[in-house]
Amino acid sequence: MDEVADRPLVAVEWEDVTAYTRAAIPEDFEGYRLRKLTCGILWTETDDYVVVVGDYDITNAGKDYRHNDFHIIPRGVIRRLSVLKRPEGSLVSLDVAAG
């Protein structure tokens, strides 16, 4: 198999860093939290982070790069990582709760 076919497709729900300037400090920060959903090829996993590639150029063989639009997501901000498709082709359902 090639390097893409050997990797699962995933959906990662994570919380982004939020920063606001020149605003009054609110009583409740919940409304200011930023939740993200990133889907793509699970490229790398370490104890500290995962790398998800959202765009892979299959026609760029032999060049210095083939992947684009990648996210390096620290494990500490990941709320859920769901496998959408395993390399062997079995589909897994995605259940992402709102909020």
pLDDT values of the chain reduced to their tens digit, one per residue, 99 residues: 366 778 899 999 999 998 888 778 888 888 888 999 999 999 999 999 999 998 877 777 667 666 678 899 999 999 999 998 877 754 444 454 444
Establish if 46 belongs to a structural domain. Answer: yes
Establish if 15 belongs to a structural domain. Answer: yes
Give the number of domains in the chain.
Answer: 1
Establish if 25 belongs to a structural domain. Answer: yes
Residues of the domain holding 58: 9-85
Per-residue tokens: 24: 């009054």
Distance CA 16, CA 77 (A): 7
Establish if 37 belongs to a structural domain. Answer: yes
pTM of structure: 0.74
Which helix (H) or strand (E) segment is 37 a member of?
Answer: strand 34-45
